[in-house]
């Protein structure tokens, strides 16, 4: 079957192959979500979609709840459909919800690159950057750092140098929508048919950059409050096609970013390399003799703040994994004994 319309939305041979095994259903991509309401793009155009009742009931434990960027198989007509299947994902970017629960919030699926946006006017933070990098690397997508609102500081070069101490080869783009600094570099980064998601705190300029990329104002933008915190502008997740044919997704601002998963080897390659020289293979890097990581901190090769954040993130992931296992066991018992 030909999918000329869906090719604009990132359809590739992998998805074609997966979709070919379903009879009586049509292929579509989730282009917008809000609670249990979904907007799909199919070969015949946009349509609204809902979930089967059994999915809505088990939303907290069902990893196959559709999210923005998902490819799905659906059934329906007259611009109303029901999603029957979520196709296997190429990548899945998520975080832990705020608070003490172990619930996870999926940000987007089937993403090629996650643009991690931090503004130069007070939002820039290396520890937050490390968190995002660890999460993106574990998602299956590639991270790219964007330092926004560069016109609001005279320390752009300093921020760029600081960023490079934790990015280790990850692309860093410095942007200013007002002066158009770096926008051409952002344009050149995008590839036709690839999918990109913008994440970061409220007010860092995600929507402004998307407006630039699509060529007109489709996203509401807002200023930063007088206390330095961003105003909430984007309230839903939505997918757009840029002038160059790339696919971009805006997301609501995140006040905090708690880890659901992390790739420490890719996010902290310096610590991984140093660990190989520790005297003990299972070195905790706290008090063992012959610890190459502690030695690097003492001689200034590795910052104490970076190591401290590494420990904190490891602790969070360990706790999250424990809670996830407990929840899986509990749900398994509930499934076997539904009346208890």
Distance CA 236, CA 68 (A): 10
Q: What is the per-residue pLDDT for 217?
A: 78
Report the 10 Å Cβ neighbour count for 116: 26
Distance CA 286, CA 103 (A): 30
- Structural domain boundaries in the chain: 4-86, 92-250, 264-336
264-336 sits in which CATH class?
mainly alpha
The distance in angstroms from the start CA to the end CA of the chain is 48
- What is the 3-class SS of 54-122, one letter each residue? HHHHCCCCCCCCCCCCCEEEEEEECCEEEEEEECCCCCEEEEECCCCCCCEEEEEECCCEEEEEEECCC
Per the CB < 8 A criterion, the answer to whether 200 and 206 are in contact is yes
Q: What is the per-residue pLDDT for 157?
A: 93
Average pLDDT per 10 consecutive residues for the chain, totaling 340 residues: 82 95 95 88 92 66 80 88 94 80 82 95 91 96 95 91 94 88 91 95 88 78 40 61 94 84 96 95 92 96 96 91 74 51
Cite the beta strand spans of 201-289 per DSSP E: 237-241, 247-250
Per the CB < 8 A criterion, the answer to whether 251 and 206 are in contact is yes
Q: What is the per-residue pLDDT for 329?
A: 72
Report the 10 Å Cβ neighbour count for 336: 8
- Of 92, 154, 90, 160, which Cα lies nearest the Cα of 124? 160
Q: What is the per-residue pLDDT for 2?
A: 61
Number of C-alpha atoms within 13 angstroms, CB side, residue 214?
A: 18
Q: What is the per-residue pLDDT for 102?
A: 61
Q: What is the per-residue pLDDT for 24?
A: 92
CATH number at 92-250: 3.40.50.300
Fold of 4-86: OB fold (Dihydrolipoamide Acetyltransferase, E2P) (2.40.50)
């Amino acid at each position: 079957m030909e999918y000329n319309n869906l090719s604009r939305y990132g359809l590739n041979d992998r998805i074609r192959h997966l979709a070919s095994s379903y009879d009586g259903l049509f292929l579509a991509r989730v282009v917008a979500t809000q609670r249990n309401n979904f907007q799909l793009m199919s070969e015949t155009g946009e349509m609204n979609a809902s979930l089967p009742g059994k999915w809505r009931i088990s939303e907290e434990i069902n990893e196959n709840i559709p999210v923005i960027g998902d490819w799905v198989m659906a059934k329906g007509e007259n611009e109303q459909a029901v999603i029957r299947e979520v196709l296997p994902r190429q990548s899945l970017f998520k975080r832990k919800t705020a608070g003490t629960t172990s619930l996870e919030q999926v940000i987007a699926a089937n993403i090629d690159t996650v643009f991690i946006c931090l503004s130069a006017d007070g939002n820039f933070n290396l520890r937050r950057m490390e968190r995002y990098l660890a999460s993106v690397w574990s998602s299956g997508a590639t991270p790219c750092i964007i330092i926004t609102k560069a016109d609001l500081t005279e320390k752009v070069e300093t921020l760029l140098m600081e960023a490079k101490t934790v990015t280790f080869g990850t692309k860093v783009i410095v942007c200013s929508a007002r002066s158009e600094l770096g926008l051409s570099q952002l344009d050149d980064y995008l590839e036709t048919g690839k999918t990109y998601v913008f994440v970061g705190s409220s007010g860092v300029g995600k929507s402004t950059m998307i407006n630039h990329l699509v060529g007109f104002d489709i996203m509401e933008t807002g200023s930063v409050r007088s206390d330095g915190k961003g105003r909430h502008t984007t309230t839903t997740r939505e997918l757009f096609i840029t002038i160059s044919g790339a696919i971009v997704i805006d997301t609501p601002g995140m006040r905090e970013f708690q880890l659901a998963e992390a790739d420490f080897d890719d996010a902290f390659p310096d610590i991984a390399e140093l660990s190989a020289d520790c005297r003990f293979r299972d070195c905790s890097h706290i008090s063992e003799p012959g610890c190459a990581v502690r030695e690097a901190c003492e001689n200034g090769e590795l910052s104490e703040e970076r190591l401290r954040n590494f420990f904190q993130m490891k602790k969070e992931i360990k706790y999250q994994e424990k809670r996830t296992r407990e929840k899986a066991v509990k749900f398994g018992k509930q499934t076997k004994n539904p009346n208890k």
